[in-house]
């Protein structure tokens, strides 16, 4: 089954109770992968992996970003309560994850418009990178993008590892790079 959904369709499909086994498998694998890379915390923590510390909760949910604070308010969570130590539920963490995943999926599709025609591992690697980096930093991977468009997965993998990001996230970068590289010819 080809993966040709828009970000909105992807979100709707994930929300449906009756989903295709292929979509369920892809969604569950991606969730486990990103959760494994980002971690899972019901209380706020400080992410110090970048240049500046970032207040974070759940599965890599950046509390510093205004759109994320607005989202929290839309689901009746006051960001100030979280800053003061309030724990959030597993359901709320999943809502935050889904919000960020929709954004990451859209940005990944903008980065690689034909992402649906690439192998599933490549799709998951690029969506995971998008989730971690955000749109602006993802689009700085111009050589990776060129290599992916040319379906040169070996070169794309090398370019992923030749980055500041790879030195910051180490094992995550290696795993995602390997997911891309395994499809090299």
- Residue 129 confidence (pLDDT) above 80: yes
Residue 168 CB: number of other CB atoms within 10 A?
A: 13
What's the whole-number mean pLDDT along residues 149-171?
96
| Whether 85 contacts 55, CB under 8 Å | no
pLDDT tens-digit readout, 82-92: 999 999 999 99
What residues are paired with 45 via a beta bridge? Answer: 56
- Rounded to whole angstroms, the Cα distance separating 105 from 4 reads 12
pLDDT for 4:
58
Which of the residue ranges 63-67, 84-88, 113-117, 167-171 would you say has the lowest mean pLDDT? 167-171
- Residue 151 confidence (pLDDT) above 80: yes
Q: Which CATH class is domain 7-181?
A: mainly alpha
**Sheet (strand 54-58) strand order:** 41-47, 54-58, 61-62
**Residue ranges per structural domain of the chain:** 7-181
- Residue 2 confidence (pLDDT) above 70: no
What's the whole-number mean pLDDT along residues 90-117?
96
């Amino acid at each position: 089954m080809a993966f040709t959904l828009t970000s909105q369709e992807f979100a709707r499909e994930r929300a449906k109770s009756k989903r295709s086994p292929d979509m369920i498998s892809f969604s569950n694998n991606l969730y486990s992968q990103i959760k494994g890379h980002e971690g899972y915390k019901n209380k706020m923590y400080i992410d110090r992996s970048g240049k500046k510390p970032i207040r974070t909760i759940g599965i890599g949910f950046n509390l510093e970003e205004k759109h994320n604070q607005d989202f929290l308010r839309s689901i009746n969570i006051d960001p100030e309560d979280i800053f003061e130590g309030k724990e959030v539920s597993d359901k709320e963490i999943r809502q935050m994850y889904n919000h960020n995943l929709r954004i990451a999926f859209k940005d990944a599709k903008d980065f690689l418009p034909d992402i649906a025609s690439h192998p599933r591992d490549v799709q998951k690697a690029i969506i995971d990178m998008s989730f971690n980096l955000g749109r602006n930093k993802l689009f700085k991977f111009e050589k990776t993008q060129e290599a992916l468009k040319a379906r040169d997965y070996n070169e794309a993998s090398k370019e992923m590892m030749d980055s500041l990001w790879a030195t910051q996230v180490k094992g995550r970068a290696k795993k995602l790079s390997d997911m891309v590289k395994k499809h090299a010819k």
